[in-house]
Each structure stands twice: as C-alpha cells, then as structure tokens.
Structure 1
Amino acid sequence: MGTSGIKDFYLYSKVFITGGTGFMGKILVEKLLRSTEVSMLYLLIREKRGKTAHQVLDLLLQDKIFNKMKEICPNYRQKIQLVQGDCSVSGLGLGTSDRQMLISNTDIIFHLAATVRFNADLKTAYRINVCGTKDLILLAKQMGNLKSFVHVSTAYSNFPVNYIQEKLYDMPESLEEMCQTIEKLDEDYINKYTERIIEPWPNTYTFTKAIAEMVIKNGADQLPIGVFRPSVVMPTYREPIASWTDNLNGPSGICLGIIKGILKLGPCDHNESLADLVPVDMCVNGLLASAWDISAKRNSSIPETTPVYNYVCGADKSPIRWRELLKISAVYGRKYVDNSANIFVIFTNFAMCHWVLDMVYHIIPAFFMDMFLFLRGKRMRLLSTHRKIRKMFILLSPVYTNTWNFDNDNITRLWNRTNERDREHFPFSLQDVNWNNYFASYIRGLKEQFHVKPINLSHWFAIFWQLLKILLVFFTCNTVISKYQSVAEIYY
C-alpha cells in the first residue's frame, strides 16, 4: 500500500499555529496530534475573558474532541508548547525568548487567527486580520528551517468577483494607500463611514481578509507560502466525532432555532442560491495536504506563483441550497426532537406577508411568552433570541443571496496527487461525502450537543394563542392578501 507522503511530511516537524483555540484550530491541533508524528506544536494563545493563556489551553484540551487523541497519543502534553501572544498587538505580542525560539525551530506555520465576526469594527478587524498577517510574515522571513506557511483566508475574500479563481487578486486601491487610510483615520470617523470605506465588500471580515491576501501577494514572495480559502465551514463529518461544533455562528444558530420550534419563517430576500458548505474535519485535512503541496512546489524546479486553494463544493458539486437547508432542519428536527409537531418553516418573497407572518409566528408569541415567564419569575428570553436570529440572517444575507463560480483545480490536482494511504488518513475530497447522512447527523448533533427541547406552551396559553392566530390570519386575509397577490410556501 506504501507510505503516506503527507504523514512523512509532518514527521518530527515543529509546527507554529495561530488561532489554535478557534473552531477550525481545535480540529487542526487534534488531527496533528492524533494522525501525525509531529515533534512539537507551538500554540499562540492570548489571555481571554479573564483567563490566563495557560488556563485557556487547559480548557481547550478538556473538550471532548480530544478524547480519542488522548488514547492514541497519551504523551500529547509533551508535544504542546504554549506561546503567549496576541495577533492584535504589534509584533504578535511575543516576548524576546519566544520570538527567538520560533525563529530557530519552526518548520511549518498555520495562520488561522482572525476575527471572524462579520460585523467587527474595522479597526479591530484590520489589526487582527491584516496587521497580524504582516507581523507573521516578517517573523517567517527570519525562520531558516521554514518549509511551508499556510495562510487561512475565506472563499469570500474576493466578494465582488463572480468567478473566483485560485489566484491572488488586487484591491481597487493600492495596498499602501488603503492601509494608511485605515491607520490614520480616527475610530469614530471609521465607524461612521465603514460601509462607504469597504464598499463593495459587505462586511469588515471579507474586506480585511482581501487586504491580508494582498499583503501576501506583495510581501511574501520569498516564502514557501500559500493561501487556503474555505467556504462556509460547518460541524464535523466524521473526525474525531461526528457533528461536533463549538459555536452557533452562521447556519448552525439558524438551524437550531428551527429545531427548537422558535424560528418558523425563512428570510424574505431568499432565492435559490447554493449553500457552499464544507465540514470542518475535511477542511482541516485539505489544509494539512495544502501545506505538504506548498513545500513540494517550492522545492520543484518549476517557478511557482503563490499557490491558492479554493476549498469549496462549487456550483457543480454543491449538495444543497440555503432554502433547502432550512427545510431539512424542519424535517430532521421533527424526527430527532421530541414533541416537535410544531416544527416547520415558511417561505415568502412578499415583504408585507413576511412582516405579518413574522408578527404572527415570532414577535407576538415571543412577547406573550416572555410576559408569561416574567410572571412566573423566570428569565425572559424569546424576544432577545429572535433579535439574535434576525441579526444572523442579516449578517449572512450577502452569502445566501449570491452564488459564485469557484475554480478549485488546485484542490482537485492535490487530491489526484495523493495515494491510497494519504486518502485513508487525510480524506478531503468532498465528492466522497454522503450529504444526506451528513445533514441528518448534523441536526441530530445540534439537538444532542445543545440539549434541545422545544419550547412547550402551557395548556391555557396554547389555547389563547391559537385563538389569537385565527384573528390575525383573518385580519391578514382581509387587509393584505385581498389587495396583493402573494404566495407563501409552508414546509412541514
């Protein structure tokens, strides 16, 4: 069967990881310790929420996703060295001794650290996503043993481009002018005019990720560096456990709202856009393979531009549309969540109808339920939950209302280059995913991980609400639908 070229690449290597405590970073750390013979992982960790960097690391390793790794690699703590630092601070916040240690020892870099909040203020996103990348490049240029450096970007960094190729794009303005503008302007002015500054990008995340790619294009040509661009990263497919996630960002929060019976109305501005989703464990396998490929390209006799890897399903392979994802959530929600007869999702493109349905199924019942909870001495939560879900829809709208064509030839060629052992240990071909099983497991995993129980109304409250709904629907029929032609699709 032969050996795995990817495993051999990591043998006795010392790997520096930024963003190792994040969603993808946790899976990367676990996979390296479980499936490779790395010599050392240097994890850049900052103090967070009142906890020291050491406490953050201890909490990280308590996550259940590391249980399997601990059985296979019982001496894992000997392979982890904490490096205290912060990508939002000049020079990565590194001390002199840590800096010299990294310069002398690092073989491979994975740069995952970023603020992934779409609505982060521009100054913060710029400091972490752009300045952090600049500082890491300067550090990498001093590393004599460096054989591969992978910068993790996003498939949506070049948002205004309809056909996104595996190459680094230029920004509309020169990099120097753009950076000077952001650095010189005061924070109040930037916050006031952020939308104008980042236009045509929809949010500060994709905008600063685009600038970071430009930093690499203009200043990292001497390095064995590449850019890895995943699309929407979702819970695990199989490794180390199925359907694991540590957050409710993006689609997971919306799908959870549906299976809890809280969310019953899809977005008004939906269309038939494809949901380009990638499981995080397969994404990490692609990331590990990309680092191996970057090193091989650098050592070949053929000169190469900075390799870029679009890790996406693509229009020809995407298994689902955003609309269908919400429908599937309702189907599997009823299957896996007890007492789920009221789990359904409604779609309409008619704004007035959407507003009335939002009032009928979300705002009014949430208000009365909160009042009911308040009178019983419990915390009111329904209205705030709906505000969070509505905000999530708004933040995701640039993604679910658009469809891009992605070139992913580099990922395809990389997969074709791997042998049977590589594919056994590091499966990253999305063509091998059974998407129906994945989504069933995904919804079941959300239910189990977040202890989902549908919100059940008391008997008298339920009767009252049914009567109120009849009155509201009657009012709607006579005042709205009689004047406008509208079709609302209800998916049970």
Structure 2
Amino acid sequence: MGWVDNLNGPTGLMIGVGKGVIRSVLVDGNNRSEVIPVDYAINGLIVIPYEFYKSRKRPAEIPVYNITNADHRKAKMGDVITMCKRLGREYPLNVGLWYPDAVITTNKIYHQFNVLMFHWLPAYFLDFLLLIFGQKRFMVRVQNKISTGLDVLQFFTLNPWYFKSDNFASLWDNLSTEDRGIFNMDMHSDYSEEEYLIGCIKGGREYILKEKLEDLPKARFHHKIMYVIDRVCKIIFVGLFVYYLLKWTGVLALFSSNEQ
C-alpha cells in the first residue's frame, strides 16, 4: 500500500514527532481519520475518467467522486495516534532532538504554551549555541516551517469531516477481474492500518531520512536512554517549579516556621 514519500501530510507529521521536533499538536481525538493509501487514490483517479468514457449516455448531472475511506474503516484519530505512538516505540527513528512524546490536545492556550516552551525556546537556544561555535543556524527557520504547517493542519484536525463516497465505491463493482488486479481501489477490503503505518515509518526512515533498517536495534537503545533523560528532566523541572511556587506564595516559609 502506497504512501507519500515527502514531508507533506501525515508522513511529515510522523517524522517530526518521531524526531522530537514537534512537541504539541492540536487534534480532536474523536474525529474520524480520512487518510487512505495514496495508490488507492491514484488508481481511483485513473478509473474515474475510464468509467466516464465507457458510459454510452452522458449523465444529466456531473458525477462527483469523493475518494475517501469507507465509512466502516474510518477510525478515530485518537486511536490512530495511540497506534502511532506504540509503533514509534517499536520502530524508532535514529538520533533526534528529544524523546518523541508530543502532547495531543484541543486546548489552544495549552498548545500555545507548549509551542513556546518546547518549540521556540529550544530553537532559539540551539541557534544561540550554533552562533557561539560559528556554525550555521537553522532551528528557528525549521520551527517557522513547522509552525506554518501546524497552523494549516489544525483546521483539518480540529473539525469533523464527512464525505459520501458511494459513487467512488461503485466504481469497483464495475471493474473486470483483470482490471481489479491492476487498479486496486477496494476501500471495503480488509487491509491492515497497522501494516500500512509500519510501511510508512519504515519507508520514511529509509527513503526520506536515509536511515538504514539495520540501525533499528541501536535506535531502540537510544530511544530508551532518551526516555529516561526526558522523565528525569521533567521531574526536576516540575520539582523546581513547585519549590519556587511554594517559596513565592510563602507556604514554604510557613512550613519552616512550624518546624522551628
């Protein structure tokens, strides 16, 4: 099953999250996913004009073909994200910026806070270090592209979408057995979403990031190390935040006076 071999769409999002660059995404987990294998869509684009050409009588109204997933295959985006996180642990990418653990939320204020803390501040800090060491700066430029992409994406991930695809599904019934073997576009087939996502991850590693599949054991080991570092840093950060909050509110001084 085909996938798009560039950084546009879901593939780019998976790689960005897998590399630890994207730390927060606005997604409503209850919305249904409309992602289908790209070869299904391309085969549909080939068959539609072919079927239209075969028609002896021109239809009174222009037919509309929505190339979308079959209704019974539209999984909740929350379930897809959970599967992606699990597969990301099984097939991690090579060395990334941080441990891949993006926050999925519908709260725009919380999202903007995460973007500021975990997108922009690290980007400016890393560019500052690159400037000191006389290296070319690029992190802020990368974050600008990521922010633009996420701003466009959130319109589609926060709103529900429903497309009737009866016309598209009927095309499969009109194909001959020979044509079905060439132009697979049966959205009612039992292809595995998990198998498709594994193909996307492996393909992204090998063909986009140029990472060898033989490096997976090393990537899994590095992934575990990054997990420990991520948790330790979060515990220290939260601990310091609570400490200074208690100190600023005077609660810490109150406890100290009680002990004396």
The TM-score normalised by the length of structure 2 is 0.73
Counterpart residue number, 1:45: none
Q: 1:411 aligns with which of 168, 176, 192?
A: 168
Counterpart residue number, 2:74: 318
- C-alpha separation between the residues in 2 aligned to 1:342 and 1:397? 23
1:252 aligns with 2:7: no
Structure 1 residue 274, shift from structure 2 partner: 1.5
- C-alpha separation between the residues in 1 aligned to 2:244 and 2:188? 50
Q: 1:263 aligns with which of 14, 22, 27?
A: 22
| Kept after mapping to 2: 8 A contact 1:261/1:344 | yes
Matched residue SS, 2:21: coil
- C-alpha separation between the residues in 1 aligned to 2:22 and 2:193? 24
Q: Tell me: CA distance 1:410–1:368, structure 2 relative to 1, closer, same or farther (3 Å).
A: same
Q: Deviations over 1:416-460 (max 9, x none)?
A: 111211110111112323211111111221122222679x9xxxx
Matched residue SS, 2:54: helix
Counterpart residue number, 2:43: 285
1:430 aligns with 2:187: yes
- The residue correspondences of 1:42-441 to structure 2 (distance < 5 A) are 237-238=1-2, 243-245=3-5, 247-267=6-26, 270-297=28-55, 299-300=56-57, 303-321=59-77, 323-336=78-91, 337-339=93-95, 342-432=99-189, 433-441=191-199
Structure 1 residue 276, shift from structure 2 partner: 0.5
- C-alpha separation between the residues in 2 aligned to 1:380 and 1:352? 29
Counterpart residue number, 1:18: none
- C-alpha separation between the residues in 1 aligned to 2:203 and 2:153? 22
Matched residue SS, 1:278: coil
Counterpart residue number, 1:199: none
| Kept after mapping to 1: 8 A contact 2:127/2:140 | yes
Q: Which has the higher strand share?
A: 1
| Kept after mapping to 1: 8 A contact 2:28/2:158 | yes
Q: Deviations over 1:259-289 (max 9, x none)?
A: 112112222x634212201222111111111
Consecutive unaligned residues of structure 1, counting only runs of 5 or more, are 1-236, 457-462, 480-492
| Kept after mapping to 2: 8 A contact 1:259/1:329 | no
Q: Which has the higher helix share?
A: 2
Structure 1 residue 339, shift from structure 2 partner: 5.0
Structure 1 residue 325, shift from structure 2 partner: 4.3
Q: 2:241 aligns with which of 475, 485, 488?
A: 475
- C-alpha separation between the residues in 2 aligned to 1:314 and 1:475? 48
- C-alpha separation between the residues in 1 aligned to 2:105 and 2:172? 41
| Kept after mapping to 2: 8 A contact 1:332/1:444 | no
Consecutive unaligned residues of structure 2, counting only runs of 5 or more, are 212-218, 223-228, 246-260
What is the root-mean-square deviation of aligned Cα atoms in Å?
A: 3.3
Using CA pairs below 8 Å that are at least 6 residues apart, which structure has the higher relative contact order?
A: 2
Matched AA of 1:307: P
Matched AA of 1:257: G
- C-alpha separation between the residues in 2 aligned to 1:477 and 1:423? 66
1:448 aligns with 2:188: no
- C-alpha separation between the residues in 2 aligned to 1:278 and 1:385? 28
Matched AA of 1:251: P
Q: Deviations over 1:123-158 (max 9, x none)?
A: xxxxxxxxxxxxxxxxxxxxxxxxxxxxxxxxxxxx
278-287 vs 380-389, which deviates more?
Answer: 380-389
- C-alpha separation between the residues in 1 aligned to 2:46 and 2:238? 55
- C-alpha separation between the residues in 2 aligned to 1:474 and 1:349? 27
| Kept after mapping to 2: 8 A contact 1:415/1:429 | yes
Matched AA of 1:381: F
Matched residue SS, 1:289: helix
Matched residue SS, 2:88: helix
Q: Deviations over 1:307-354 (max 9, x none)?
A: 221111154322451x44444444333333235781222223444443
Matched AA of 1:250: G
- C-alpha separation between the residues in 2 aligned to 1:477 and 1:346? 25
- C-alpha separation between the residues in 2 aligned to 1:282 and 1:467? 44
The TM-score normalised by the length of structure 1 is 0.41
| Kept after mapping to 1: 8 A contact 2:19/2:99 | no
- C-alpha separation between the residues in 2 aligned to 1:431 and 1:348? 31
Task: State percent identity of aligned pairs.
Answer: 23
